[in-house]
Amino acid sequence: MLKRVVFIWGKEEIIKDMTALLRELEEKHVEAFVINAESDESVILNAGSTAWANENGSAETLYITDNALWQKRLWENKLPVIIYLHEENREENFMLAEYAIERIAEIELESLELAYLRLTGQPWTILTTNRCVIRETTIGDVESFYEIYQEPSITEYMEGLYADKEAETAYIQDYIKNIYRFYGYGMWTVLEKTDGKVIGRAGISWREGYDIPELGFVIGVPWQRQGYACEVCQAILAYGKEELGFTDFQALIMKGNEKSQALCEKLGFVYQETVEVDRVEYMRMILHYEQNVFINN
């Protein structure tokens, strides 16, 4: 959780554009420090509290600067930093900056919190349902995935995990880095809200050769036949429409997978065609979303 934002400015005129953001930070009880980039180093470091000494940024401090020297110092110390670009610093070398702001008057706290989580390697919580939390996958989820996928019925109709856990962990690391950071969505982890137990995976992804997003889901055997899959998938489809702007979805169901077919039909998907992927036949089902309701093609 973000508790502190330290602004390190070289251009003092920026402060007048920050009125709305500073007001929101105060209302949400997030500390804000606005410091001139030419100030004594100890002043800037003290504003960040213990974050400077902790390479994991556990002091929950986010830095924002328009000064290339300070961006470099913070980055070298593995501290989360966003740069602010304006007409006077665009020629400066902001080394390996992952996030940049151009109109600070339009920035809200929520955007800063999401950037802070990404910069510190923490997962985004995507949404919650009555019984579940859906969040980005972490390396710590891998062990739970193996517990879920060890059930033969899980891999009967879908691809399993890597036999080597190290390979699966490396795959998840790459997925977090390349998919979440590029798209902002993907396959997520599903947790039971009451105890935080990982019960499955679900999300939206893209399959090569197709031009609409695909719904994917798997719920562990102990939580099947309790409505979890339907609850989670309904929420994800709504999120895909309302937050991501998608109007069409597909689902590829391996022939014989009657449970998944029945669920997709309940969600409003209809059979479109039979396709072959890696020599395996799938039913391609389509859902069209229009006028605030799901309707069949």
Q: What is the CATH number of the domain that holds 48?
A: 3.40.50.1000
- CA 20: distance to chain centroid? 26
Give residue 45's pLDDT.
Answer: 64
Residues 77 and 181 in one domain: no
Give residue 226's pLDDT.
Answer: 97
Residues 283 and 140 in one domain: yes
Residues 25 and 88 in one domain: yes
Output DSSP code: residue 124. Answer: P
How many domains does the chain divide into?
2
For residue 266, pLDDT beyond 90 = yes
Residues 169 and 28 in one domain: no
DSSP for 223-278?
GTTTTHHHHHHHHHHHHHHHTT---EEEEEEETT-HHHHHHHHHHT-EEEEEEEET
Give residue 289's pLDDT.
Answer: 79
CATH label of the domain that carries residue 266 = 3.40.630.30
Range of the domain at 111: 4-119
Residues 265 and 218 in one domain: yes
CA atoms within 13 A on the CB side of 236: 31
Which of the four pLDDT bands, split at 50, 70 and 90, describes residue 43? low
Output DSSP code: residue 139. Answer: G
With H, G, I as helix, E, B as strand and everything else as coil, classify residue 206: coil
The pTM score is: 0.87
Residues 84 and 209 in one domain: no
Mean residue pLDDT across the chain: 91
Which residue among 84, 119, 154 closes a domain?
119
- Cα–Cα distance, 237 to 241 (Å, whole number): 6
